[in-house]
Amino acid sequence: MNDQGVATILETSQPATAAKGPVKLAVHNLSISYGGTPALVGVDLEIHENEIFGIIGPANSGKTSFLKALNRMDMFNPAMQVAGDILFNGTNIRQWRNVYALRRRIGVVFPLPVGLPMTVYDNVALAPRLSGVNRKADLDDIVERCLRRAALWDEVKDRLDSLGSLLSGGQQQRLTIARALSQDPELLMLDEFSIAVDPVTTMRIEDVLKELRTEMTIILVTNLTQQARRLADRTAFFLTGSCVEIGDTEALFTGNVQDTRTADYIAGRFG
């Protein structure tokens, strides 16, 4: 789906203003390579509490690798090498001995929904159970709250015992968001969440994200530049493994850029 198709259904929101809260995540001289081939080089940026931070850029610009580094996913890929500092709440994530505890605080939603082979209820209840919540009343509250926050409760409340894999693509994507929210993350990362869902579902998820910004920090990687404009307080432009620039989103989209490549990408002249 292209930006134009989505834009016919979704109206541009009021321009966002850059967040002024404390720094939630600080990245210093971050470089990532795969088997010696660079994917990201020398990235420096800060993300504030309760802001939606957008990341745009063409394919193979390092956006997904950036998210994987924040979530310590390099531990699953021996060929992925990460250098530099990533500070979450002021602590280097490499100092976290329990990486699973870190991931409970930094949730991630990938482009294609991945429903676990279990019921809708169990998809959402899994993480709380693993963290020690076993009382059914408590689990019921968590499941309902997370499904409501993901704008899915009204559609599945009568079939919580059905397999999550039987839901539609858009519903499965919202189930994935509900599952991420069940961990009560402080930082939620979304990697092109709308790539496999229809425009109406995209609109519903965008509304959810606008509400969640009051509760958590959100990093939004998107291939739809106008989606970044609708949602993000600030936006970073990645290109060929570099962070070209970061700025107030509305300023970037109205031509106040430091690098002409940013303007060219936003205008659709390449990418």
* Closest CA relative to residue 179, chosen from 101, 115, 100, 105: 115
CA distances to 62, 84, 133 from 41, rounded to whole Å, are: 9, 10, 41
Instruction: At 182, list the tokens.
Output: 């069940």
**Residue by residue, what is the 3-state secondary structure of the chain?**
CCHHHHHCCCCCCCCCCCCCCCEEEEEEEEEEEECCEEEEEEEEEEEECCCEEEEECCCCCCHHHHHHHHCCHHHHCCCEEEEEEEEECCEEHHHCCCHHHHHHHEEEECCCCCCCCCEHHHHHHHHHHHCCCCCHHHHHHHHHHHHHHCCCHHHHCCCCCCEHHHCCHHHHHHHHHHHHHCCCCCEEEEECHHHHCCHHHHHHHHHHHHHHCCCCEEEEECCCHHHHHHHCCEEEEEECCEEEEEEEHHHHHCCCCCCHHHHHHHCCCCC
* Confidence tier at 7 by pLDDT (50, 70, 90): very low
Render pLDDT for 98-156 as a digit per residue (tens, 0 to 9): 888 898 899 999 887 776 789 999 999 999 998 899 999 999 999 999 999 898 999 99
Instruction: At 19, list the tokens.
Output: 């967040």
Number of neighbouring beta carbons within 10 Å of residue 251: 15
What domains can be seen in the chain, in order of their start residue?
52-65+100-235+244-266 (3.40.50.300)
β-strands 187-191, 106-109 pairing? parallel
Render pLDDT for 140-197 as a digit per residue (tens, 0 to 9): 999 999 999 898 999 999 999 999 999 988 899 899 999 999 999 999 999 998 887 7
Place of tokens 């079939």: 159
User: How many angstroms separate the CA atoms of 172 and 4, rounded?
Assistant: 24
CB 72, CB 51: distance < 8 Å:
no
Question: What are the phi and psi torsion angles at 135 (to 5°)?
Answer: -70, 125
The pLDDT of residue 14 is above 50: no
Render pLDDT for 74-101 as a digit per residue (tens, 0 to 9): 998 999 999 999 999 999 999 888 888 8
CA distances to 26, 161, 248 from 80, rounded to whole Å, are: 21, 39, 31
Average pLDDT, the chain: 90
